Amino acid sequence: MTKKIGLDAQTRRAFLRSAAGFGAAAWAGSALAQDALSDIINAPQRGGWDDQFDAKASRTATAVVSNNPIFSMDTIYNTQAAIGQYQQIVSSGGWPQVNPGVRLELGVSDPSVRALRQHLMVAGDLPQSAGLSNDFDSYVDGAVKRFQARHGLPPDGVLGEYSLKALNVSADVRLQQLNTNLIRLQSMSGDLGQRYVAVNIPAASIEAVENGRVVQRHTAVVGRMSRPTHIINSKIYEVILNPYWTAPRSIVEKDIVPLMRKDPEYLKKNAIRLIDGQGNEVSPETIDWNAEKAPNLTFRQDPGKINAMASTKINFHNPNNEYMHDTPSQGLFNKLARFESSGCVRVQNVRDLTTWLLRDTPGWTRQQIEATIRSGQNTPINLAVEVPVYFKYITAWAAKDGVVQFRDDIYQMDGEQELALQTTTGIEPITGGNGALPQ
């Protein structure tokens, strides 16, 4: 017990030292926090560009990654510490809104940059020594990139629509977001297993964890709001190389049948076969695609490069017909809002994850996996040891590095409308999840 309390205190002190290092007066203790805004407003005035350029600050601004798992006692400790500091920020008056009349980026001079500097100082992204001015200099550029990185935004240093909306979420809403997510993190404080996979749905990210350390991180595409990825605890039991894809009934009715009405060659172009209850193939030409109900047939896509799951399908026990998989549409991983599937999860660099999952399954080295994929042969592989997998919903946390991370409340589960800022509407129906409709 004594050691645990000591660790907690040490973690909190480390958090405060880290925050103070970024010049956030509001994070340096209660006495300073009460005067945070007035200190920042009265910060030393700075001149033009020449005396403010610091290339190193910009280069290092986005270094906010950690190999500490999101589900760890360190994350809980640091999130608790962050809550304490955000309480101080709120009690000090929060941070100012930023409402620019021009696009804010490096080289711009505009009165709204002064409010931006104040905001970034209170939030801990910009040191007070940078001072106040109307100039968007390299210090501000580095601070904006750091802000963007910890909000899951592309760290380009430009305050576009999404960055500005994230910036203008009030401090008290962020505090409530941290409180809500602390409860979720605490629910995961038990023994998760020596090896496990954690999928954080709002962050659209995946961690492969071993012996308490993240050994792989993967970008993901998860379910859109209308077809969300389910929160679940399960175990991965199978990897299928060169999988067949069987379209769920919902995708057949909502997507494939309407596409066949527009283009009778759609099934043929995408190597999708119709199979009846006896396993016989049925010709698409024999089907009335304008009938009220979709045909009671199995829609099965052959393995191959255009297969909706591409090279790999990863199965875990669940009642929702969801799974993790590869995709032929790799460009999706570069999108800002990766909430485009119908529930299943697409995994970038899935072969790295597959190799890690099959490590204890005899005969399945990386070389054998690659050779099997090249063969095009449908190959189901049962894991010798099932690997726990956790699909969870965490939109706010503080990692071991002390950086407070926030993500959009894409499924509106945090209870604050202000947080559901970047929900993508009008998503094209051709997506993955509960299967994945090929393009």
Q: What is the pLDDT of residues 148-169, one digit of tens each?
A: 999 999 999 999 999 999 999 9
Per-residue pLDDT, 332: 61
User: How far is it, in rounded angstroms, from Cα 60 to Cα 405?
Assistant: 17
The percent of residues in the chain predicted with pLDDT above 70, rounded, is 78
**30 token code pair:** 């209660």
**268 token code pair:** 């043929």
Q: DSSP 3-state helix, strand, coil percentages of the chain (rounded to 5)?
A: 35, 20, 45
> What's the CA dihedral at 49, 50, 51, 52 to 10 degrees?
40
Per-residue pLDDT, 148: 95
- Is the pLDDT higher at 332 or at 249? 249
pLDDT of residue 227 exceeding 80: yes
Burial class, 24, CB count within 10 angstroms (exposed 0-12 / middle 13-18 / buried 19+) = buried
354-to-23, 147, 239, 312, 346 alpha-carbon distances in Å: 43, 33, 7, 8, 13
User: Cβ neighbours of residue 389 under 8 Å, at least 6 residues apart?
Assistant: 196, 197, 198, 199, 233, 234, 235, 236, 316
For residue 246, give the nearest of 321, 188, 184, 317 by alpha carbon: 321
Q: Are 143 and 61 in contact (CB under 8 A)?
A: yes
What is the arithmetic mean of pLDDT over 299-307?
A: 88
- Is the pLDDT higher at 376 or at 43? 376
Identity of the amino acid at 215: V
- Is the pLDDT higher at 194 or at 416? 194
| Angle made by CA atoms 109, 110, 116, in degrees to the nearest 5 | 105
For residue 315, give the nearest of 306, 326, 323 by alpha carbon: 323
Per-residue pLDDT, 429: 31
**Long-range contact pairs involving 323-329 (C-beta distance under 8 Å, separation at least 24):** 324/199, 324/206, 324/350, 324/353, 325/243, 325/350, 325/432, 325/436, 326/350, 326/351, 327/221, 327/432, 327/436, 328/438, 328/439, 329/439
| Angle made by CA atoms 260, 261, 266, in degrees to the nearest 5 | 25
